[in-house]
Structure 1
Amino acid sequence: MTNIEKTTFLAGLERALTKVTNPRFFETERGYQGALIAALQEELASFNWEKAIIEQEYQKRIREHGIRVRPDIIIHVPFANDEHNTRGEGNFVVFELKLNANESSALVDYANLSAMCSLLNYPLAVFININSNQTHIDKYEGENKHKLVSYSVNLSEDQAVISKSVATA
């Protein structure tokens, strides 16, 4: 993923995050996830990732993927034997979402995101802490920090308020 692709994606993601404004979606992770996927779908064409789709809670199986994690959202080109050499090809972004995550649960998600980056060649991993002002990314000490981007999202007077954080080396 080039810097231009990353910048374009993050701008589209931030537009999508600001579109989720119904208070109901800030009550549950699953509700927010569905609303975010709908908003991301509107942005997908602007990312210029040919054949890419958005899927939710796609089970990564140990035999095929080398990992058993169920990320909340992925943007990828589904694996096809006749088009890909490995399951790491065609992967763009992996997401974990949490509702008001504390430090320990956020750190588990950062570790899962890092593993997905390492094993399945995701160039970008996004953590979203729903209904919170914190991302806890400053506490993450694992691998792939340069691939992690974190957001906290809140609702204030019917407006989505987002805060972006990145890990420091």
Structure 2
Amino acid sequence: MDKEQLLGTIAMSLAAVRTPHYYEDERGFQGEFYAQLHRQLQDVILPEGAILREEYQKRLLQHGLKIRPDIILHEPFNPDRHHGRDDGNHAVMELKRRAKRRDAIDAFKNLISMIDTLRYPLGVFINIDSLTTWAELVPEDYRSRITCLAVSLGKNGVPQVVRA
């Protein structure tokens, strides 16, 4: 899967969330963003069997960690196709609304755990209702694997998306 194409699709999906009400809380925004991303991914060539999932609980015994990422793009585990649960994972996303420094650091820790334990090649942090990406807080060793975006509804009602 082409990383830049996927990131472009994520940015387009963020820009498609135009209703002010969705910017009022993280869960509402996440649902609308998920719907927009699912729609936009129809035009992207995904690996065979890859699906988008919301808040898929990772279990310690099965996955080696206990985190509930906001959105993942993965191939559900199939022992006929995958060597383990760390095979077929493509992207993991953490969303926060108006994230403060501590919120961003915690989100990056979760993304790093998912990247390291389940071999997600791409982690995405999305700061909702803000133009601050917090990219400078991503540890140096992970800057090529974690992309930070922020989205805010402008005064003219047009979403502004910042990528770092």
TM-score of the superposed pair, with normalisation by structure 2: 0.94
Alpha-carbon separation, structure 2, partners of 1:98 and 1:110: 11
Root-mean-square deviation over aligned CA pairs: 1.2
Match of 2:153 among 152, 155, 160: 155
Residue matched to 1:120: 118
Match of 1:14 among 11, 14, 26: 11
Conserved? CA contact 2:138–2:146, under 8 Å: no
After superposing the two structures, state which structure 1 stretch, 127-136 or 46-55, moved more: 46-55
Alpha-carbon separation, structure 2, partners of 1:132 and 1:14: 14
Deviation at 1:89, TM superposition (A): 1.2
Letter in 2 for 1:32: F
Letter in 1 for 2:162: S
Residue matched to 1:35: 32
Residue matched to 1:78: 76
Secondary structure of the 1:132 match is coil
Letter in 1 for 2:7: L
Letter in 2 for 1:101: A
Alpha-carbon separation, structure 2, partners of 1:56 and 1:130: 17
Alpha-carbon separation, structure 1, partners of 2:41 and 2:86: 20
Where does the alignment leave 5 or more consecutive residues of structure 1 unmatched?
none
Does 2:48 correspond to 1:69?
A: no
Letter in 1 for 2:36: A
Percentage identity across paired residues of the two chains? 37
Deviation at 1:45, TM superposition (A): 2.8
Residue matched to 1:102: 100
Does 2:23 correspond to 1:26?
A: yes
Conserved? CA contact 2:10–2:37, under 8 Å: yes
Where does the alignment leave 5 or more consecutive residues of structure 2 unmatched?
none
Deviation at 1:142, TM superposition (A): 6.2
Deviation at 1:44, TM superposition (A): 1.6
Count of aligned pairs: 162
